[in-house]
Structure 1
Amino acid sequence: MFKPSATTAMLSIMTMAAVLSLGTVAVRAAEDVTEDQILRALSPDKKPLTRGLSAGPQTSPGLNDEQAKFVQSIRGRATRSLSSAEREEIATIVQDRPKIDLEINFDYNSADISAKSLASVQALGRALVNPELKGSTFVVAGHTDAAGGEDYNQGLSERRADAIKRYLVDKYGINGTDLVTVGYGKSKLKDPGHPMAEVNRRVQVVNMENKTTASK
């Protein structure tokens, strides 16, 4: 009968420890964003709990009359109906507003939300119906990496932004006019130095107009 040597036993223990250690890292890496993290990132008066999340400035300056008029004109608009000039205007307005980038995966070559990303989308839904945010106007912007042509990526980013909106409306009863969906394709890479990086494939949510000033 084979009896393991002390060296063999020690190697086995070290191997098991390594596996357990790797398992812990994997769990932490796969940890989903929480409702509280999203709430803090999108609330102007709260400090974000980022810890690896990408959150924008937490100041929320009021819209001027021209901007407010523009926001009202795009509420309820179909994503594909936005012109390139309107998309750029949205990008300009949201620059200094509370925002968060969410890594939401979709099935390959489709706008179907992957099962592993549902928890993050659900956390987003719970945050947006929280009394602190409910009734505000949010931008849901879809972004892709640099793979593929511009027209293809533009359409894909729009469909994916629409998919998030449909889920939030259907599952959480959020007013569709409170969600402005826009697609940017590969035109606004988060990491231009690595155009194919996964970080570029994201959905950005921005608190565009606080509920205290939003016109219902």
Structure 2
Amino acid sequence: MSGTTLTAIVSIVMLGATLSFGMTRAVAADDVTEDQIIKALAPAKKPLTRGLSVGPQSDPAPSAAETQFVSSIRGRATRSLTTSEREEIATIAKAKPNIDLEITFDYNSANISQKSVRSVQALGRALTNPDLKGSTFIVAGHTDAAGSDNYNQDLSERRADAVKRYLVDNFHIASPDLVTVGYGKTKLKDPSQPMAEANRRVQVVNMENKATASK
């Protein structure tokens, strides 16, 4: 890994996202606000209709299979997730709301840098807002292409765990509501530049609305 800090992007993935969990513009750490995060993460409200509706409906309700799967991974340890479960998480994540936040980690470390604490705090306030509180969120760690597969897998998991630990300790978010997963270098945000800092990120995915969450 290069540089004194490693940049990560916290992203909650929205409808139409690509296999890399979305290509939305990152919001600078100093610019992001709690309100911006809430607006980006809140599920789209379904329009009230009478009679037949024409055209696709946004934000469809999750299937029974999806709800059951999300329930099955709540409370799981990061390293307990299988490869197939990680891929299923990535597939479901393509249809969820998203925002990109720049967060930095100390070099070769899972320690959140001091300059990024305010962004993580804004995220914590947003996730405890009544509009989002109680949903299940995936905290997914990613690295760039430098280093071995095993090294990067471990680092991505530790970074995801670090973000979760901060949110649980400082904002008292229920631990089962934050499911951590690591992808190492398998899902680069910018495959054309595998060493780019944009690939070194943590994504947070809103997996389901609190009204449908299985507690």
- Pick the TM interval, shorter chain: 0.7 to 0.9
How many angstroms apart in 2 are the aligned matches of 1:60 and 1:99?
13
Paired with 2:202 and 2:28, the residues of 1 have a C-alpha distance of: 19
Q: Which position in structure 1 is the counterpart of 2:142?
A: 143
Structure 1 counterpart of 2:142, which letter?
H
Distance 1:193 1:142 in 2: 20
- Secondary structure of 2:198's partner? helix
Partner of 2:210: 211
Q: Say if 1:138 and 1:180, in contact at 8 Å, map to a contact too.
A: yes
Q: After the TM superposition, which residues 42-57 of structure 1 pair with which residues of structure 2 at under 5 Å, given as runs?
A: 42-45=41-44
The share of aligned pairs that are identical, in percent, is: 72
Aligned-residue offset at 1:213: 0.6
TM-score, normalised relative to structure 2: 0.79
How many residues of Structure 1 are paired with residues of Structure 2 in the alignment? 177
Query: Aligned ranges for residues 38-187 of structure 1 at < 5 Å?
Result: 38-45=37-44, 59-187=58-186
Relative CO higher for 1 or 2, CA cutoff 8 Å, sep ≥ 6?
A: 2
Verify the 8 A CA contact 1:60 1:98 in the aligned structure 2: no
How far apart, CA to CA, are the structure 1 residues paired with 2:28 and 2:208?
33
Displacement after TM superposition at 1:203 (Å): 1.3
Name the TM-score, length of structure 1 as normaliser.
0.78
Given that 1:101 and 1:203 are in contact with CA atoms closer than 8 Å, whether structure 2 keeps it comes out as no
**What SS does structure 1 have at the residue aligned with 2:90?**
helix
Report the AA paired with residue 130 of structure 1: N
Highest CA radius of gyration, 1 or 2? Answer: 1
Q: Deviations over 1:10-48 (max 9, x none)?
A: xxxxxxxxxxxxxxxxxx9662422112111111238xx
Distance 2:179 2:104 in 1: 20
Q: In the aligned structure 2, how far is the partner of 1:95 from the partner of 1:43?
A: 15
Q: Which runs of 5+ in 1 are unaligned?
A: 1-27, 47-58
> Equivalents in 2 of 1:178, 1:30: separation in Å?
24
Offset of residue 137 of structure 1 = 0.5
Provide the rounded CA distance (Å) in 1 between the counterparts of 2:211 and 2:61: 10
Question: What CA distance in whole angstroms lies between the structure 1 residues aligned with 2:125 and 2:99?
Answer: 15
Distance 1:32 1:160 in 2: 22
CA drift of 1:83 comes to 0.7
**What is the one-letter code of the residue matched to 2:156?**
S
Unmatched 5+ stretches in structure 2: 1-26, 46-57
AA paired with 1:160? R
The range that moved more, 185-194 or 97-106, is 97-106
The CA distance in 2 between the partners of 1:87 and 1:212, in whole Å, is 24
CA contact under 8 A between 1:42 and 1:99: conserved in structure 2? yes
Provide the alpha-carbon RMSD of the alignment.
1.5
Residue 192 of structure 2 is aligned to residue 193 of structure 1: yes
Distance in 1 between the 2:146 and 2:102 partners?
A: 17
Q: Distance in 1 between matches of 2:171 and 2:162?
A: 14
Q: Give the number of the structure whose residues are more often helix, by fraction.
A: 1
CA–CA separation in structure 1 for the residues paired with 2:191 and 2:88: 21
Indicate conservation of the 8 Å contact 1:76/1:177, yes or no.
yes
Partner of 1:31: 30
